[in-house]
Amino acid sequence: MLESVGNPSVVNADRTFRKFAVDRGWDILSFQKPVALKKSPAQSKFVVLGAALVLTVAVALAFRATRARRNRTR
């Protein structure tokens, strides 16, 4: 599968895959200290605000639909 891309690179390969990559002339990258991906505080705030907005709209639409049904039956 890597042979089909323009610039194949192998990351943290085991011995067998590293030899395979060397034979084909691929780039080999080794990372000793993995870095965890962190969410920025701004992203977290937007997710919470977005979820609150969606919930508010859903509740408003449900209330409106219920009210409309009540008015039709009277």
pTM listed for this prediction = 0.41
Residue 1, pLDDT score: 65
Paired residues of 27 in beta bridges: 9
Residue with tokens 């509740």: 59
Contacts of 21 (CB under 8 A, 6+ apart): 8, 10, 13, 27, 28
Instruction: List, for residues 26-61, the tens digit of each pLDDT value.
Output: 999 998 887 777 766 667 788 888 999 999 999 999
d(Cα 30, Cα 11) in Å, to the nearest integer?
Answer: 6
E strand or H helix that includes residue 44: helix 41-73
